[in-house]
Structure 1
Amino acid sequence: MSKKSIPRRLADNEAIAKAINLRVSPRKLGLIAGLIRGKTCEQALADLQFSRRRIAHDVKKVLQSAIANAENNHQLDVDKLFVAEVSVGRGLVMRRWHARGRGRSAGIEKPFSNLRLIVREREAKARTEGKAKAKDETAGKRAGAGKRKERS
């Protein structure tokens, strides 16, 4: 008896990269994750390059790994990639103690984080068709916007 095979969680137009036990709190890593979520990979790399946060360098390496996975393992077009999902999880917590006055001690927690980053290839056709439909709908609404009903 063998283990059941786990179904593939990624679509054909996605690639993933992970970083485990990054030495930063999940709250601080979440700030960087929110900075790049939904952006094109090119724009996200530029934002991480000029970010003043220490952990931005590690997040940039994970993003570059995801781009390389997309190109080499899944044969996706690098120019069409965008950051689809960035999830931050809590890793282990390293506990230390600090001596205080009167023989007491205070605990110090040093948290670690896990990062999971998914890049997806953007579909050009579906996006342009959707924009064209949206423009037609808004144009129809705006045409009737100039008319006012007279009150009697």
Structure 2
Amino acid sequence: MEVRSIYKYARMSDQKVREVTRAVTGMPVSQAINVLAFTPKKAAKLVGKTLQAAIANAENNHELDADELFIKSATSSKGGMQKRIMPRARGSAGAIKKRMSHITVVLAQREADETKKAPVAKKEKAKKAAAPAPAPEPAPASATQE
């Protein structure tokens, strides 16, 4: 089951937020919270709020355990843009674009059985492929040989 939370019109450009979302994608929720708490960026605080909202949605609406969740995807897309002007020389004006973004966090439940079985199967296949074929045993010498 997937749980989604969206923070719309965050007052930060999507490029700056994308740096933080890429860092936490694929992490377990508890580890992602710690990483965001110690990341010295404004975007980390915004992504953290969105992550906390997604965790609350999972626990309250879908009755999922927060310890079993991981961040399936965390994305940032372009939002609106506030356009302002700054006076420039000789009566002209320079454009200022105050960019916004939409932050989306999707959580999924990690299955304990799937994570344990998948790596073991890959390791066994690798061992079988790497192991050389056993050499045929020589025929036993007869006792009547002189």
Give the TM-score taking structure 1 as reference length: 0.83
Query: Which sections of structure 2, spanning at least 5 residues, go unmatched?
Result: 133-146
1:1-152 counterparts in 2 under 5 A? Answer: 13-144=1-132
Alpha-carbon shift at residue 141 of structure 1 (Å): 2.6
Larger radius of gyration: 2
Q: Distance in 1 between matches of 2:123 and 2:26?
A: 22
Q: Distance in 1 between matches of 2:102 and 2:35?
A: 21
Q: What letter corresponds to residue 54 of structure 1 in structure 2? A: K
Alpha-carbon shift at residue 96 of structure 1 (Å): 0.5
CA deviation digits over 1:4-24, x for unaligned, max 9? xxxxxxxxx221111000000
CA deviation digits over 1:22-52, x for unaligned, max 9? 0000110110110111111111101100001
User: Percent identity of the aligned residues?
Assistant: 31
Q: What letter corresponds to residue 50 of structure 1 in structure 2? A: F
Alpha-carbon shift at residue 68 of structure 1 (Å): 1.0
3-state SS of 1:55 partner: helix
CA RMSD, Structure 1 to Structure 2 (Å): 1.0
Map of 2:144 onto structure 1: none
Query: Which sections of structure 1, spanning at least 5 residues, go unmatched?
Result: 1-12, 145-152
3-state SS of 1:24 partner: coil
- Alignment length, in residue pairs? 132
Map of 2:142 onto structure 1: none
Q: What letter corresponds to residue 10 of structure 2 in structure 1? A: L
Alpha-carbon shift at residue 58 of structure 1 (Å): 1.5
Give the TM-score taking structure 2 as reference length: 0.87
